[in-house]
């Protein structure tokens, strides 16, 4: 019997290789509180240790003035940015639907979240888009591409939004290196489990914004691999959807210019010409002497199928919100049709940014209107017990 995607977890439960776990395995679930933590308890998220002192206003939520963080053995007040990047980020993750753990790391279990078409069946062979959020490998959430993921799900695509290790949660350095390992593991996980997710393994597309755009390209660096990944699983993709990808030189291992661009698949690339940091070449700086400007030029010279969406008056991240959210999504849709990866058709274009949708999700959570979800597991492609240290 085929069930609606909302019932995906029960459908797949019989074939799971491991028991479901709570979104934060280090913290016991507490049904009476929204954050799944007992008042007065210690809990962890990423590399951080927190203490919820008390639910002083009885709202069942961890509030900014109620939580402390352990810094070098001393409990300190949490500032607003840290609260947003950890406590609220963790809160949202407890309630995101259709989540699967794809990798276990020293700091936390990493999950991806899947948006299925309404008429999805497990036996389908649909195209898939794997989305990587932006945030300078430092911040961000998998909800960043929720609006585009929902759109492409209406167009018959299985959309996969990936969480990966970032500095504010996991304490990583060497921007794009450890995150690049995670991106390739996620891609391998999707390909390995494609038959159980209704995905055609020969029609997998990688997309992302800013640092996430970098990660989408970085999946095509042959030498950038988690040392415990099963490298026999290909990370080749059928197309790239790159929203103002941040391609500056950070470290040699994850620098995209080491790729022979002639080997890349068809690419859709957007940039705003007011996005000086991500687009303008700066010959005086090793970091940005070959920036987005060179990236577009060299992709064109490589002769691969290339579609650019460049706007003179736009800045960084302009495709993520109106007025360019809808038009850029349609442009990428038409590009995928031209590549033979998406059938002709249409769907209502997205109107709300991923950030706005995340705020709506948090409002529902904090009002007590949602139930926490459970992360599931399928087959892993890496040995969790020997994953590399997260602070490299």
> Packing angle between helix 146-154 and helix 325-338, nearest 10 degrees?
50
Predicted confidence at residue 8, as pLDDT, reads 45
For each of the domains in the chain, give its residue range(s) and CATH number, in order of start: 24-93 (no CATH), 98-362 (3.40.50.1820)
pLDDT in tens, the chain (392 residues): 333 443 444 455 343 333 333 434 334 344 589 999 999 999 999 999 999 999 999 999 999 999 999 999 999 999 999 999 999 999 999 999 999 999 999 999 999 999 999 999 999 999 999 999 999 999 999 999 999 999 999 999 999 999 999 999 999 988 899 999 999 999 999 999 999 999 999 999 999 999 999 999 999 999 999 999 999 999 999 999 999 999 999 889 999 999 999 999 999 999 999 999 899 999 999 899 999 999 999 999 999 999 999 999 999 999 999 999 999 999 999 999 999 999 999 999 999 999 999 999 999 999 999 999 999 999 999 875 344 433 33
Neighbouring-strand partners of residue 206: 130, 240
The pTM of this model reads 0.90
Among 382, 391, 377, smallest CA distance to 23 is for 377
Beta strand 158-162 pairing with 126-132:
parallel
Rounded CA separation 83/80 (Å):
5
Predicted confidence at residue 12, as pLDDT, reads 53
SS (H, E, C) 256-316: HHHCCHHHCCCEEEEEECCCHHHHCCCCCCCCCCCCHHHHHHHHHHHCCCEEEEEECCCCC
- Record the tokens describing residue 116, joined without a space: 């299925």
| Residue 122 phi, psi dihedral angles, 5° rounding | -60, -25
Predicted confidence at residue 17, as pLDDT, reads 35
Predicted confidence at residue 387, as pLDDT, reads 42
Rounded CA separation 291/283 (Å):
10
């Amino acid at each position: 019997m085929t069930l609606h995607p909302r019932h995906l977890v029960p459908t797949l439960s019989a074939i799971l290789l491991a028991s479901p776990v709570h979104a934060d395995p280090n913290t016991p679930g507490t049904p009476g509180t929204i954050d799944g933590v007992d008042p007065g308890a210690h809990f962890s998220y990423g590399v951080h240790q927190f203490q919820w002192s008390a639910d002083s206003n009885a709202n069942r939520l961890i509030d900014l003035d109620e939580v402390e963080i352990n810094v070098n053995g001393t409990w300190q007040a949490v500032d607003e940015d840290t609260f947003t990047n950890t406590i609220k980020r963790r809160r949202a993750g407890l309630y995101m639907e259709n989540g699967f753990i794809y990798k276990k790391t020293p700091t936390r279990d990493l999950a991806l979240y899947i948006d299925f078409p309404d008429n999805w069946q497990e036996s389908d062979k649909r195209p898939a888009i794997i989305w990587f959020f932006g945030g300078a490998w430092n911040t961000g959430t998998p909800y960043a591409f929720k609006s585009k993921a929902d759109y492409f799900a209406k167009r018959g695509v299985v959309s996969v939004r990936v969480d990966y290790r970032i500095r504010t949660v996991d304490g990583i350095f060497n921007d794009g290196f450890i995150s690049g390992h995670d991106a390739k593991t996620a891609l391998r996980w999707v390909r390995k489990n494609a038959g159980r997710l209704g995905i055609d393994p020969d029609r997998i597309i990688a997309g992302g914004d800013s640092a996430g755009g970098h990660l989408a390209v970085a999946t095509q660096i042959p030498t950038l691999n988690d040392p415990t990944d099963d490298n026999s699983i290909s990370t080749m993709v059928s197309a790239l959807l790159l929203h103002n990808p941040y391609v500056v030189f950070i470290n040699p291992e994850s620098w995209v210019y080491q790729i022979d661009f002639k080997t890349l698949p068809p690419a859709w690339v957007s940039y705003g010409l007011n996005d000086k940091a991500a687009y303008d070449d700066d010959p005086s700086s090793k970091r940005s002497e070959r920036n987005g400007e060179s990236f577009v030029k060299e992709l064109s010279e490589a002769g691969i199928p290339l579609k650019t969406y460049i706007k003179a008056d736009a800045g960084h991240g302009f495709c993520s919100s109106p007025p360019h959210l809808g038009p850029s999504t349609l442009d990428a849709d038409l590009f995928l049709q031209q590549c033979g990866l998406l059938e002709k058709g249409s769907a209502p274009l997205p109107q709300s940014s991923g950030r706005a949708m995340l705020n709506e999700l948090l409002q529902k959570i904090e009002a007590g209107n949602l139930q926490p979800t459970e992360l599931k597991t399928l087959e892993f492609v890496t040995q969790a017990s020997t994953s590399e240290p997260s602070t490299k």
